[in-house]
Copies of this chain bind each other. A is one copy, B any other.
C-alpha cells in the first residue's frame, strides 16, 4: 500500500499516518518527493480498507498494491480449477455448453428443450423458475413446480442442471433440485446471498453484474469461496454501456483477463449479453476463441411463443448448427466440447 500525502502536509500529519500504519501492522517507508511525501506501507493490505486511511488528515490518496481478493486469485492457486458437476467437468481445457429456455414454462416446453439441447451436444440444462423481472406486471416464474420439472427433465436426458436463485428462500428450495446454483447479474453484490450459496454445498455459477468491474466480480467470488465453497464458475453476460443497439456490451477481454488473474473457470452468456439471436452464434464462437471454458445459451422449442427473452432464444435448428460450429472452434483452440460422457479425473491438481 502506498499513502500519498497532500502537498504541504504537516510533519505531525505524516507522523500520525506512520503511527496508524504501525498500529495496523504495516512497516512505513518514507519517500520525500519533489512536491509531496509518499509513504510505502509494507504488510498485508487485505486486513484493512484503504479507505480507513484515506480520511486521515493530510492524506491525499491511498493506493493499494496487492489485489483485494485472495482465494480467487491465480497467485493463490496456479493450476486451473475444474468444477465437477455430476459427470461434467467445467474448466480445465474442455468446453461445456449449458443451454435451455429462459424460463421453465410447462412440461412439454421444457422436455422438448431438454431433448433438443442434449441431442445437439450440450451437457447442462438451464431453465429459470424464479424470474427477477424489471416489471411487477411480467411473468415471474413457476417457482418450485418449475424446479421439479427441471430436475425431471435433467434426469431423463442425463444432463446436469442449473437454475437461478434470487434470495434465501429460493435457495433453500432450489438446492435440492439442481446441480448448479446460479447467482444472477443483479445479485452479484447481494453479499448475504453470496455467503448463503457459499454454504449451500453446490457449485455456483456467478454472473458478472451489469456494471461490475472485474475486480468486484472476483471479490464476489471471494465471498462465496470464503465460506469454503471452491466450486465457483464465473459467467460474463455483458455490461451496461451507452450502446443502444445491443442490450449490453459483451466484454470478452474480461474473460481473457480473468483467466490470467484467477484460476476459476469462466463461461459466457451471449444470449443476455446481446439480447439478439442473430448475435448469439458469432459471440459464442468469439467467446471460445477468447478462452472461455463454456457457454450459457438460451434455446426454446418455439421462440415466438416464449414467455420471456424470446428474441434472444435460438430456434432448435440454429442451436444444432451452432453446436457444430463450436466443435470446429474448440478444435482450433485445442479443445473438445463436453458431451455427457464422464470427464477425465484429476484434471486439476
Contact = CB atoms under 8 A, between A and B. Distances in A.
A242 B246 CA distance: 12
Interface residues of A, number: 108
A41 B57 CA distance: 24
A117 interface: no
A306 B40 contact: no
A286 B44 CA distance: 37
B216 A283 contact: no
User: Could you say how many copies of this chain the assembly holds?
Assistant: 4
Contacts of A239: 241-243, 249
A245 interface: yes
Nearest to A246: B253
A55 B2 contact: no
Contacts of A66: 33-36
Label chain A's interface by main secondary structure: mixed
Interface in A184-235: 186-187, 189-193, 195, 210-211, 213-216, 219, 222-223, 226
Given A75-B7, A166-B192, A285-B289, A240 B211 contact: yes
Contacts of A52: 306-308, 310
Interface of A: 2, 4, 7, 29, 31-36, 38, 40, 42-44, 46-47, 49, 51-52, 54-57, 63, 65-66, 68, 75, 132-139, 166-170, 186-187, 189-193, 195, 210-211, 213-216, 219, 222-223, 226, 239-246, 249-257, 260, 273-274, 276-279, 282-283, 285-291, 303-304, 306-313, 328-329, 331-333
B132 A191 contact: yes
